[in-house]
Amino acid sequence: MRILVVEDEPRMADLLRRALTEEGYSIDVAGDGPEAVWAATERSYAAIVLDIMLPGYDGIEVCRRLRDAECWSPIIMLTARDEIPDRVRGLDAGADDYLAKPFSFDELAARIRSLVRRGATPRPRILAVGDLRLDPAKRLAWRGAALLTLTPRELALLELLMRHPGEVLTRTRIIHHVWDPLYDGLSNVVDQYVGYLRRKIDDPRQPSMIETVRGAGYRLVEAPDKGAP
């Protein structure tokens, strides 16, 4: 299986190449934005590891151009740890996941395995789960016909849940994506925000679309189990 690594720093590119080769992948390396777009539209990759800071144009622009060209290879973006707005922009541009530098290669390999398993998925411009809809570019969400009034943090949490419908997301993963990998505040912040979100998205007469999975985390479901609390 072939993976494209897009990284301009030779040392980092080499580390990535060696680590991923050991995982059994064949690796191509692109060193700038235009080269990355050319390579990824020229052949199909099982996954693309994309650094944000690149010469030519940056990783976000690469991502946008690939999605516009209907190249749906799963993309994991590498960001510096203090570039939270970049992560949000990256996901808006069509990246599937991101990892903050510095990261462990084990973590990267695990994320790539999961992306490769999922495979290339054409991405609708509007996310939809049941009668929930979310437009990542316009930062708007609806339940049925009703526009939801969400804070940026609530919207980011809902977007993460909607990008993984039916999948249990741990509190750690949610904090990593919606807050910061180094967030050291109270861990119950996730529970608190899930509470805010439920009050805004749920029909109070129905079970919540956001299920609590005891000891594991949260899961967004299209048709909530009527027996669930």
The residues binding Ca ion (CB under 5 A) are 8, 51, 53
Residue (64 or 219) nearer to Ca ion, CB: 64
Closest approach of Ca ion to the CB of residue 105, in Å? 17
Closest approach of Ca ion to the CB of residue 101, in Å? 9
Q: Are strands 26-30 and 2-6 parallel, antiparallel or unpaired?
A: parallel
Residue (79 or 208) nearer to Ca ion, CB: 79
Closest approach of Ca ion to the CB of residue 120, in Å? 25
Residue (8 or 28) nearer to Ca ion, CB: 8
Closest approach of Ca ion to the CB of residue 13, in Å? 9
Q: Which of 145, 140, 115 is nearest to 126 (CA)?
A: 140
Closest approach of Ca ion to the CB of residue 214, in Å? 41
Closest approach of Ca ion to the CB of residue 8, in Å? 5
Residue (51 or 86) nearer to Ca ion, CB: 51
Beta carbons of 77 and 50 less than 8 angstroms apart = yes
Residue (7 or 159) nearer to Ca ion, CB: 7
Residue (77 or 134) nearer to Ca ion, CB: 77
The residue type of 28 is D
